[in-house]
């Protein structure tokens, strides 16, 4: 039996601290048995540090365990879901490690962001098995209480400062990888390219994939501009977590086109169906069309998935049907982009603002469109979808269609959070505004808001009467979802040289 060192935390002390968390039992169990943790817990920062360390330890353990499950996968579906989990656990470990690494600058809001992402990753891992209909024998082996521990750290870091589903005010600093000096490179309207991609052989590479592979080998992590000349590029692109500060610069919407057709109907997970997937932090996409051509009959088929922290898409177009734009995790900004789709076509669990964008609903196979499906699973995650000064209208194929109902969103997860502010809503929006996911699921815990929208679909007179739905009348409340507050845009967007409105 292990004898507790005198200077360590005793059991009653641990019990007292853990009682303040949403999941006290795993907290007590793992803090009590963690042989590495021998420091006394006198104050909340000590407790948070101890929690983070034990959470990182358990995440590493779960990641290693996941690795051993490979040989147990019996078919391609199980292997596909397992491969996602491996990647997602790796990112989870990286994000939690960033919160404890003494070399890494980490503010309270950074920590909340990266812990939110860590939890989202584990949910995505689980979802892959569920959507491919994989028997759940693997899943219990993956539940190593890591989700509960992350949830506890989120709650303690947040300080319980929650207002009615609206985000709390948090201070923001720069992560160590973010180079403010890169601004000079982006000052001109067309930044100087490091390398050029052209199908006719006039550039350095003929495919975007080859250019990304070259960028991954570069020394340093400063901004790296890849100019992709006009053309149709049939490739699925992944920009991994180690490839940071990449800018994909196209020749404009409809000119530089990246296209793919992976889908859940075709046997991949939603996560892996993306035509363009970006995880490396600090990504900028500009002047590009990204398509998923799997079609409405193939269910989830993503055009773009982003888990890139402090990332921007400017003057881009995303075309698909179900699940077009997967705003997976971390802090993201979209400006003057066009998004086309049918079911849940802006979805995920990032902290994201879409500003001055055009959102086009297409003609759906089952007569129902939902613009958003936000995936917050924990009330302390600092995530949500904020749609500001956008135009919501029908795509050309929907204009002549009859009997189609289009809704602003539906609650994919328990604490789903979405707001539409100062946007123009055409008559296609159903008077109820929002649609349930299943029965009364999440109707009391979600946060859906509308603020000063205009257009024939903007009347809130016949909107749903759910507890979590709000007609926002206070500018102070609405401002919490602005670029300046929700994603702290004033501190990092100027360096990207993309225009933005910080307030309402």
- Give, as one character, the DSSP assignment of residue 156: H
Is residue 333 within 8 Å of residue 312, measured between CB atoms? yes
User: Are 77 and 121 within one domain?
Assistant: yes
Q: How confident is the model at residue 7, as a pLDDT? A: 46
- CB neighbour list of residue 485: distance below 8 Å, 6 or more residues apart: 167, 169, 479
Q: Which residues pair with 226 in a beta bridge?
A: 195, 248
Query: pLDDT-based confidence at 13, cuts 50/70/90?
Result: confident
Identify the residue whose tokens are 């968390």.
Answer: 21
User: Is 394 a domain residue?
Assistant: yes
User: Are 127 and 256 within one domain?
Assistant: no
Q: In angstroms, rounded to a whole number, what is the distance separating the alpha carbons of residues 194 and 205? A: 12
User: Is 170 a domain residue?
Assistant: no
Q: In angstroms, rounded to a whole number, what is the distance separating the alpha carbons of residues 359 and 343? A: 13
| Range of 164-178, 210-224, 317-331 with top mean pLDDT | 317-331
Among residues 110, 141, 158, the one where a domain terminates is 158
Query: pLDDT-based confidence at 162, cuts 50/70/90?
Result: very low
Rounded to two decimals, the pTM is 0.93
Q: In angstroms, rounded to a whole number, what is the distance separating the alpha carbons of residues 106 and 176? A: 8
User: Is 181 a domain residue?
Assistant: no
What one-character-per-residue DSSP string does 122-151 give? HHHHHHHHHHTT--TTSHHHH-SSHHHHHH
Q: In angstroms, rounded to a whole number, what is the distance separating the alpha carbons of residues 344 and 350? A: 15
- CB neighbour list of residue 438: distance below 8 Å, 6 or more residues apart: none
Is residue 122 within 8 Å of residue 3, measured between CB atoms? no
Is residue 111 within 8 Å of residue 147, measured between CB atoms? no
- CB neighbour list of residue 193: distance below 8 Å, 6 or more residues apart: 225, 226, 227, 249
Is residue 461 within 8 Å of residue 487, measured between CB atoms? no
405-409 and 447-451 beta bridge pairing: unpaired
User: Are 333 and 467 within one domain?
Assistant: yes
Q: Beta-strand (E) ranges in 236-394?
A: 237-239, 246-249, 256-260, 276-278, 284-286, 289-292, 304-306, 311-314, 317-319, 325-327, 331-335, 338-341, 343-348, 351-355, 358-361, 368-374, 384-388, 391-394
pLDDT in tens, 169-208: 545 555 554 544 444 444 445 678 999 999 999 999 999 9
Query: pLDDT-based confidence at 159, cuts 50/70/90?
Result: low
User: Is 203 a domain residue?
Assistant: yes
CA dihedral (216, 219, 221, 223) in degrees, to 10, reads -80
Q: In angstroms, rounded to a whole number, what is the distance separating the alpha carbons of residues 443 and 435? A: 10
User: Is 271 a domain residue?
Assistant: yes
Is the model's pLDDT at 8 over the cut of 80? no
Which residue, among 365, 367, 317, 373, has the nearest Cα to 345 in the 3D structure? 373
CATH number of 114's domain:
1.20.140.40
- Give, as one character, the DSSP assignment of residue 489: G
338-341 and 317-319 beta bridge pairing: parallel
3 state DSSP class of 490: helix
Identify the residue whose tokens are 């985000």.
Answer: 167
User: Are 255 and 322 within one domain?
Assistant: yes
Among residues 136, 158, 180, the one where a domain terminates is 158
The 3-class SS string of 34-80 reads: CCCCCCCCCCHHHHHHHHHHHHHHHHHHHHHHHHHCHHHCCCHHHHH
Q: In what order do the strands lie in the sheet with 424-425?
A: 231-234, 256-260, 289-292, 317-319, 338-341, 358-361, 391-394, 424-425
User: Are 244 and 95 within one domain?
Assistant: no
User: Are 409 and 272 within one domain?
Assistant: yes
Is the model's pLDDT at 168 over the cut of 80? no
Q: How confident is the model at residue 75, as a pLDDT? A: 87
Q: How confident is the model at residue 184, as a pLDDT? A: 42
User: Are 198 and 304 within one domain?
Assistant: yes
Q: How confident is the model at residue 38, as a pLDDT? A: 61
C-alpha distances (whole Å) from 292 to each of 227, 265, 315, 380 are 22, 13, 18, 33
Backbone angles phi, psi at 276, to 5 degrees: -125, 120
User: Is 164 a domain residue?
Assistant: no
User: Are 323 and 367 within one domain?
Assistant: yes
Which residue, among 287, 290, 307, 300, has the nearest Cα to 352 in the 3D structure? 307
User: Is 171 a domain residue?
Assistant: no
Name the domain count of the chain.
2
Is the model's pLDDT at 122 over the cut of 90? yes
Among residues 158, 177, 211, the one where a domain terminates is 158
Range of the domain at 153: 11-158
Query: pLDDT-based confidence at 219, cuts 50/70/90?
Result: confident
pLDDT in tens, 128-158: 888 877 766 555 555 668 999 999 999 999 8
* Helices and strands (H and E) in the chain: how many: 12, 26
User: Are 257 and 349 within one domain?
Assistant: yes
Of the candidates 84, 281, 323, 344, the residue annotated as catalytic is: 344
User: Is 183 a domain residue?
Assistant: no
- Looking at every residue in the chain, the average pLDDT score rounds to 90
Query: pLDDT-based confidence at 220, cuts 50/70/90?
Result: confident
Which residue, among 447, 449, 493, has the nearest Cα to 475 in the 3D structure? 449
User: Are 116 and 218 within one domain?
Assistant: no
User: Are 147 and 261 within one domain?
Assistant: no
pLDDT in tens, 378-387: 999 999 999 9
pLDDT in tens, 34-84: 655 567 888 999 999 999 999 999 999 999 988 988 888 888 888 999 999
Q: In angstroms, rounded to a whole number, what is the distance separating the alpha carbons of residues 137 and 82? A: 12
**Residue 344 designated active-site:** yes
Residue 192: count of CB within 10 angstroms of its CB:
10
User: Are 204 and 87 within one domain?
Assistant: no
């Amino acid at each position: 039996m292990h004898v507790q060192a005198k200077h360590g935390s005793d059991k009653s002390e641990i019990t007292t601290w853990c009682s303040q968390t949403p999941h006290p039992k795993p907290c007590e169990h793992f803090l009590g048995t963690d042989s590495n943790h021998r420091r006394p817990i006198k104050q909340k920062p000590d407790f948070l540090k101890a929690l983070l360390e034990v959470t990182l330890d358990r995440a590493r353990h779960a990641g290693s365990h996941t690795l051993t499950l490979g040989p147990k996968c019996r078919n391609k579906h199980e292997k596909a879901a397992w491969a996602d989990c491996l990647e997602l656990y790796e990112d989870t470990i990286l994000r939690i490690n960033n919160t404890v690494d003494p070399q890494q600058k980490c503010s309270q809001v950074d920590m909340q962001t990266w812990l939110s992402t860590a939890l989202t990753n584990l949910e995505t891992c689980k979802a892959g098995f569920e959507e491919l209909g994989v028997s759940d024998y693997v899943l219990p082996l993956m539940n190593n209480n890591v989700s509960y521990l992350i949830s506890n750290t989120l709650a303690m870091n947040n300080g319980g400062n929650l207002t009615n589903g609206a985000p709390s005010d948090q201070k923001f600093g720069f992560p160590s990888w973010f180079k403010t000096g890169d601004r000079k490179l982006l000052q001109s309207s067309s930044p100087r390219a490091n390398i050029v991609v052209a199908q006719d052989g006039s550039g350095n590479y003929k495919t975007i994939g080859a250019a990304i592979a070259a960028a991954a080998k570069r020394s340093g992590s400063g901004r790296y501009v890849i100019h992709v000349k006009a053309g149709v590029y049939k490739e699925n692109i992944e920009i991994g977590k180690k490839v940071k500060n990449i800018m994909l610069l196209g020749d404009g919407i409809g000119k530089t086109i990246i296209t793919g057709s992976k889908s859940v109907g075709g046997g991949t997970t939603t996560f892996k169906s993306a035509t363009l997937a970006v995880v490396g932090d600090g990504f900028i996409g500009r002047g590009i069309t990204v398509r998923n051509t799997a079609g409405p009959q193939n269910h989830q088929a993503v055009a773009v998935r982003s888990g890139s922290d402090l990332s921007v898409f400017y003057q881009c177009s995303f075309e698909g049907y179900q699940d077009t734009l997967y705003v997976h995790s971390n802090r993201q900004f979209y400006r003057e982009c066009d998004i086309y789709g049918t079911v849940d076509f802006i979805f995920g669990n990032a902290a994201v603002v879409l500003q001055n964008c055009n959102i086009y609903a297409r003609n759906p196979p089952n007569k129902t469109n939902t613009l958003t499906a936000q995936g917050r699973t924990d009330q302390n995650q600092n995530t949500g979808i904020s749609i500001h000064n956008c135009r919501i209208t029908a795509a050309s194929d929907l204009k002549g269609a009859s009997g189609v109902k289009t809704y602003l969103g539906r609650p994919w997860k328990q604490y789903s959070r979405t707001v539409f502010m100062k946007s123009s809503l055409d008559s296609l929006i159903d008077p109820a505004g929002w649609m349930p996911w299943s029965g009364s699921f999440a109707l009391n815990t979600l946060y859906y808001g509308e603020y000063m929208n205009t257009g024939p679909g903007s009347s809130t007179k016949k909107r749903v009467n759910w507890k979590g739905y709000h007609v926002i009348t206070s500018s102070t409340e609405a401002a919490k979802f602005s670029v300046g507050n929700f994603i702290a845009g004033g501190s990092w967007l100027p360096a990207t040289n993309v225009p933005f409105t910080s307030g309402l």
